[in-house]
């Protein structure tokens, strides 16, 4: 059977393109803001496009923080995409305004120190050893559209927990391009816009749901 995936509709993100890509990768997909459906699915995808503050407001309106918290507490997979990744961090700072995120990971989402913004287009990534998400596509290019990102990663691993696997990319400086942390994974780039490499990556994530 195909794994069931809910793409969370909280008013942000390219929901239909994400759903189509997940279906092409082998998932049975529903786009909804229903909390119970999000809990019941094998996997939950949190998309996101636009401003950090607006995304957090929409996310809270559909009880997104509680949904993610409850799923992760039960070891149930969650995948964040673009701003859906950013809101997993402590906070975002845009135009001098600080907005609290979910705090699943330490870090601040801030404007990239690049001469040209947004960072739009294809880019390579620096994948850590042992990545399951990037199996078979570590050397490929992925599609980014963003002006903000996490540029500093401060994580102290505590036994018996392992430190997350962090993938990096560069645009004006290094920034976090993806994270794999037990049931919680996320990408700053858009796998649904990244052609065959993106579909392979989504397939790798779906394989962790079984």
Could you give the residue numbers annotated as active site?
82, 190, 192
SS3 (DSSP) at 105: strand
Short-list 191, 192, 202, 177, CA closest to 86: 177
Contact criterion met (CB below 8 Å) for 43 and 205: yes
Q: Are 210 and 29 in contact (CB under 8 A)?
A: no
- Close Cβ partners of 60 (under 8 Å, ≥ 6 residues apart): none
CA distance 200 to 210: 16
Supply the angle between the helices 15-24 and 195-207 in degrees, to the nearest 10: 70
């Amino acid at each position: 059977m195909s794994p069931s995936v809910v793409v969370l509709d909280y008013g942000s993100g390219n929901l239909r393109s994400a759903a189509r890509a997940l279906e092409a990768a082998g998932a049975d997909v529903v786009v909804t803001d229903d909390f119970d459906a999000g809990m019941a699915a094998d996997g939950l995808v949190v998309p996101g496009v636009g401003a950090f503050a607006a995304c957090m407001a929409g996310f809270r309106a559909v009880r997104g923080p509680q949904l993610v918290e409850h799923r992760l507490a039960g070891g149930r997979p969650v995948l964040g995409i673009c701003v859906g990744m950013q809101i997993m961090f402590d906070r975002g700072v845009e135009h001098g305004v600080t907005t609290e995120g979910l705090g699943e990971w330490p870090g601040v989402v801030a404007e990239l120190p690049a001469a040209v913004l947004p960072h739009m287009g294809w880019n390579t990534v620096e994948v850590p050893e042992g990545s399951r998400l990037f199996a078979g596509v570590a050397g490929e290019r992925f599609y980014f559209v963003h002006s903000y990102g996490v540029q500093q990663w401060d994580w102290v691993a505590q036994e018996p927990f392992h430190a997350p696997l962090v993938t990096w990319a560069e645009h004006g400086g290094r920034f976090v391009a993806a994270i794999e942390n037990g049931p919680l994974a996320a990408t700053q780039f858009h796998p649904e816009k990244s052609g065959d490499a993106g579909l392979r990556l989504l397939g790798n994530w779906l394989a962790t749901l079984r």
